[in-house]
Amino acid sequence: MIDELDRRLIALLRADSRTPAANLAKALKVSRGTVQNRIERLQARGVVQGFTIRTKPELEGNRVRAIMCVEIEGERARAVVQALRGFPEVDKIHSTNGRWDLVVELDVETLAQFSQALDRIREIEGIATTETSILLATQKA
């Protein structure tokens, strides 16, 4: 799978995915070629699925982000997850332990879209109960 060098490389890329390979190599005490080969291998194996950016929170100030906790009836988890994948408002789906079966991250542009998404998600066959909280502020990215 991945070794300690891969883990350290991934941690550096998480902090800043635009760090030049030469700088990564210096931090990891390996050659630039090693860093490039490792990144290519991690991408080819699907460990690294892409690179992204983070924006200033004030640029996204009007977006509505929320966490929805979902309880699933019986053995319907696979069908519920499949249905949730079809919603553009669903950013991430996490399986969990404890009271809730899933934690779903929602991201929409307006409260009206948020309300519509909640209504449509709650209609998915197999969802027993949901509890949703709007994210008001992010303390650490």
Which SS3 state, helix, strand or coil, does residue 115 take? helix
Between CA 114 and CA 112 the distance in angstroms is: 5
Averaged pLDDT for residues 16-29: 93
Confidence category of residue 55, pLDDT binned at 50, 70, 90: low
Between CA 91 and CA 65 the distance in angstroms is: 9
Between CA 136 and CA 123 the distance in angstroms is: 26
What's the maximum distance between 2 C-alpha atoms anywhere in the chain?
A: 54
C-beta of residue 70 within 8 angstroms of C-beta of residue 80: yes
Q: Would you state the pLDDT for residue 61?
A: 63
Q: Which token pair is 6?
A: 């891969």
For the whole model, what pTM was predicted?
0.62
Q: Would you state the pLDDT for residue 26?
A: 95
Between CA 127 and CA 111 the distance in angstroms is: 22
Q: Which token pair is 84?
A: 């949730």
Averaged pLDDT for residues 23-51: 93
7 phi, psi to nearest 5 deg = -60, -45
Q: In percent, how much of the chain has pLDDT > 90?
A: 70
Give the DSSP H/E element, type plus range, for residue 66. strand 64-72
